[in-house]
Copies of this chain bind each other. A is one copy, B any other.
Amino acid sequence: MHDILGGSNPTARAVTGVVANAALSGQLPFAKPNGANLPVSNGVPSNSNNNGILNNNNVPLLVGLGGTTSNILHNNGNNLLNGLPVANGGQLPSGSSLQMLMFGTMTVMDNELTEGHELGSGLLGKAQGFYVASAVDGTSQTMAFTAMFESGGYKDSISFFGVHRTAASESHLGVMGGTGKYVNARGYAVVKTYTGGSGNSQQPHQFTDGLETVMECTVYLSY
């Protein structure tokens, strides 16, 4: 699946936590109360170098299926949160770290499922659901989502629940259930993530101006 934060066609949106806060207010966390993570209409991106498509107002930094620090560095090469340096912790609450700030952030996703790693490769369907940053140190996401397959009009689906450990080479998610041809399915998925997106050369083909994470899922079922 292709998890795209920010950009002109995002497929995932942080809805709770510090990141949603920062994305709306354009300030450091705790400076203002929480808000939905929407593009800011009247904000002038001050740190964007690509005409404002991907900027520090509409990219939820720190989150994403690919992990934490990599995404920050990914965005502009510095530990910036909405344009302000935070690595020194000068403006962070005492005892906080970037990873701890993430803890609890919930992100809703409507990600494309494709056959290959490329966003443009054969569309299989959608993965809809959400993930929650569930490790205090920011290294895992509790995921709950349904993979729905386009073939047959989205009647066939498999739902997963489990913890994706972003720092590990792979994680396993349990199958919660299924519909259509996968009704009563049991099993698990092995998931691996590859961080792509703007300015990154790990993935050869990028079709988005957002911050893309590719999650490769290999599913083992009995039904």
Contacts and interface: CB of A to CB of B under 8 A. Distances in A.
Interface of A: 8, 10-11, 13-18, 20-21, 24-25, 29-30, 32-42, 91-96, 101, 103-106, 108-110, 126, 128-130, 132-136, 140, 142, 144-146, 148, 153-155, 157, 159, 161-163, 165, 168, 172-180, 183-184, 186-188, 222
Contact of A140 (B14, B128, B136): B128
Nearest to A189: B179
Nearest to A92: B41
Contact of A128 (B16, B106, B134): B134
A21 B39 contact: no
Contacts of A157: 162-163, 172, 174
Which one of A104, A153, A168 has the highest number of Cβ atoms from chain B below 10 Å of its Cβ?
Answer: A104
Contacts of A16: 15-16, 20, 36, 106
A17 B17 contact: no
Contact of A108 (B96, B103, B128, B162): B103
A103 B110 contact: yes
A34 B178 CA distance: 35
A35 B36 contact: no
Contacts of A17: 15, 36
A64 B155 CA distance: 22
Given A104-B108, A173-B179, 13 more contacts: A17-B36, A21-B35, A30-B41, A34-B34, A39-B94, A41-B92, A103-B108, A110-B135, A128-B134, A129-B142, A153-B168, A159-B176, A183-B187
Nearest to A179: B172
A183 B176 contact: no
Contacts of A20: 16, 34, 36
